[in-house]
Amino acid sequence: MRFLHSTLAKIVATAVGLLVLIGGGALAFVRSGIYDVSASSKDNPYLAAALHATYEASLHRHGGRDIAPGDLLSLENVRAGARMYDANCATCHGAPDSPLSAVGQGIQPAAPSLLAAQRRNKPELMFWVIKHGVNMTAMPSFGKTQSDQTLWQVAAFIYAERGVSKEQYDGMVHGVSSSGTAAPSARIASGAHAQ
């Protein structure tokens, strides 16, 4: 019994000692300033891979539960989504054959080219990202200011128009509506209705 007690005591003491050491080491690392937080240099590839895997797993666990509206891919929705995209997303995600903005070039990690032909852009998953954003990256949570309808429209656009050409894109964004008037800008007004 005494033998057992002393072995147990040793294991507990070693475990506590190790925890203190790891905690102290982590604190020393944080306070040392050794880690380079600048956005001008790329993340360490192992850290980038770990962060991306965390994102993918989180997206598949939490996303995809919202039900898309029945008329998701209607012309009206896709066009409204195009205007929303151009006004609020192209800054970071780019537009076909156009130079990326200074903001888009400066953020780290960089935003993916959502309109690339080879992307899948499953609307239910993309809706979740657009609504909630991605913590610790530049991807904002648009659900804070935009209605679900607006978010489904932009999800519909990036799904329906993968691989879109510059001409088609410009036509959709600056196109003339059925009433013959130029399409209004979809730029977000601050304090807009949230849902």
Does residue 91 interact with ligand HEC by CB under 6 A? yes
- From the CA atom positions of the chain, what is the Rg in Å? 24
Does residue 112 interact with ligand HEC by CB under 6 A? yes
Query: For residue 123, which amino acid is it?
Result: P
Cα(39)–Cα(104) distance, integer angstroms: 12
**Residues whose CB falls within 8 Å of the CB of residue 15, separated by 6 or more in sequence, listed in order:** none
Residue bearing tokens 């329906």:
160
Q: How far is the CB of 107 from ligand HEC (least distance, A)?
A: 5
Taking residues 12 to 51 in sequence order and writing x for each that binds ligand HEC by CB under 6 A, - otherwise, the string is ----------------------------------------
**Residues whose CB falls within 8 Å of the CB of residue 195, separated by 6 or more in sequence, listed in order:** 143, 146, 147, 148, 149
Whether 96 and 166 have beta carbons less than 8 Å apart is answered as yes
Does residue 88 interact with ligand HEC by CB under 6 A? yes
Residue bearing tokens 């679900």:
148
Q: How far is the CB of 95 from ligand HEC (least distance, A)?
A: 12
Q: Which of 78, 80, 111, 164 binds ligand HEC (CB under 6 A)?
A: 111
Does residue 172 interact with ligand HEC by CB under 6 A? no
Does residue 154 interact with ligand HEC by CB under 6 A? yes
Q: Which of 134, 141, 145, 183 binds ligand HEC (CB under 6 A)?
A: 134
User: How many chain residues bind ligand HEC (CB under 6 A)?
Assistant: 23
Helices 166-174 and 75-88: crossing angle, nearest 10°?
A: 100
Residues near ligand HEC (CB under 6 A)? 55, 84, 88-89, 91-93, 103, 107, 109, 111-112, 114, 126, 129-130, 134, 137-140, 142, 154
